[in-house]
Chain A
Amino acid sequence: MRQKVFATLDTAVDGIPDGARIMFGGFGGSGFPNNLIAALVRRGTKEITAISNNCGTREGELSPLFKSGQIRHVIAAFPGPHSFYFQERHAKGEVTIELVPQGILCERMRAAAAGLLGFYTTVGVATEVAVGKEERVLDGKRCILERPIHADYAFIKADKADALGNLTYRLAARNFNPIMAMAATTTIVETEEIVPIGAIAPEIVVTPAIFVHRIVQAEGIRYAS
């Protein structure tokens, strides 16, 4: 059996190189892989392209990675009113951002997961989001071409994981996590609980094991903001 369960948070983020593209689950303070983020700060990986809904909240979520200067570029839908470390670095020109409509962010990641090369949408037509994108008319509607968003790694927060990598999520902590888990080359999961294989009923599994590569017990920070 392929061994996916890692003993520590630090070994779970081992080997992530400078310049990596990393997706981070979470929305509204819920479902963020806060302990993997802390481990990545300890690791010191630089020049990261981060893909996440927002850009940190106060001292929490992605903020430690902006504070430490490890993120170079971010793809996000909603930087957030309390993303102070991001705002500071962005104002100095140390961090660049691509703003993406939230549902299109999801769908571009899902396109990557699904092996699609792009899709047309009416979302963002005639807005700043459309700048530089191919536009055409389909069924009488103006639409723009959106391309997939790939990543080298996804950092995921699950509620339960078995050793194979089947995952469930707690309440609305699900949010971006299942999409990102499918879209990255290497998916790393911190989970509240590691349960025996078979303890998650097949019809309850939200993320099937095939998408998961590393599993580690969450320890430390539950809600970071």
Chain B
Amino acid sequence: MPAELPSKVRWTREQIAQRAGRELPDGAYVNLGWGIPNLIADYLPDGITVYFHSENGILGMGRRARPGEEDFDLVDAMKVPVTLTPGASFFHQADAHLMTRGGHLDVAVLGAFQVSERGDLANWKVPGTKGVGAIGGAMDIAAGTKRVIVCMEHTTRDGQPKIVRECTYPLTCLECVDTIVTDVAVIDVTERGLLLRDMAPGWSAEDVQELTAARLIR
């Protein structure tokens, strides 16, 4: 573990969301998880149209509702009142997850506590904390979506790597993560290993490696 973290500037949560937004192909059906992923809707590149799915049974979810515009029967998976885009549809929760598990969604962007070098995901429970954890839709979404992108800080608050050889937190899903977007880098999970594809300005591959508990390749 590094005694001192490099003092280089990291991407903000908004910048992580913006960088992850560039990974979404035009026309994609996309589910956004809690936390940083939820910010992506506000930071899509110009000229890109994606269709947002919510596991409570909405396809074609629009921006958040403005004050006075809220309808509490129209909320996203985080319970936030939202709007619809033209052509939106409603369906029940079983069909919403048929879309996740059945591979009908193009991309899911999820938060994470840990990702392993094989793409194992841990994002529902922190060991040693009170409470029973919160699976929600994460296991269905991670298991079935064609491409899973994780957005997270590269290290924990006390500097521990979150990209690891083996997850020590309770697992959400084996070998499901395709791409990791952190506050310092973009990394693809490949057959050969973790491929360092992009870095925040001013960061070197060595800097990123120092904060990563699994080996990075170029």
Contacts and interface: CB of A to CB of B under 8 A. Distances in A.
A87 B137 CA distance: 20
Interface string A71-105: 00000011111000001001100000101111110
Contacts of B143: 121-125
A171 B90 CA distance: 7
A173 interface: yes
Contacts of B75: 28-30, 172
Contact of B93 (A129, A176, A206): A176
Most chain B Cβ neighbours within 10 Å, of A31, A103, A121 = A103
Interface stretch (B21-29, B66-74, B196-204, B205-213): B66-74
A11 B100 CA distance: 40
A94 B54 CA distance: 33
B139 A30 contact: no
Contacts of A101: 135, 137-140
A30 B130 contact: no
A128 to B, nearest CB: 6
Given A103-B94, A103-B137, A110-B94, A79 B57 contact: no
Contact of A171 (B73, B100, B125, B136): B73
A28 B73 CA distance: 9
A179 B97 CA distance: 12
Interface string B148-190: 0000000000000000000000111110000000000000000
Contacts of B91: 174
Nearest to B143: A123
Contact of B136 (A31, A77, A142): A77
B3 interface: no
Contact of A77 (B58, B76, B96, B135): B135
Nearest to B76: A28
B134 interface: yes
B128 interface: no
B72 A30 contact: yes
A49 interface: no
A128 B125 CA distance: 11
Interface string B54-70: 11111000000000000
B79 interface: yes
Contact of A78 (B90, B92, B134): B134
B146 interface: no
Contacts of B172: 127
A121 B131 contact: no
Contacts of B56: 27-28, 30, 172, 175
Given A175-B57, A223-B72, A99 B93 contact: no
A100 B137 CA distance: 9
B2 to A, nearest CB: 31
B73 A172 contact: yes
A178 interface: yes
Nearest to A102: B137
Given A97-B132, A99-B135, A179-B93, A121 B101 contact: yes
A18 B56 CA distance: 31
A124 B170 CA distance: 11
A177 interface: yes
A172 B74 contact: yes
Interface string A125-142: 111110000000000001
Contacts of B94: 103, 106-107, 109-110, 179
* Shortest 3 CB-CB contacts between residues of A and residues of B: A103-B97, A103-B140, A101-B139
16 contacts: A27-B56, A28-B78, A30-B56, A78-B134, A87-B130, A102-B137, A104-B139, A123-B139, A123-B140, A124-B139, A169-B90, A172-B75, A173-B73, A175-B57, A176-B92, A179-B92
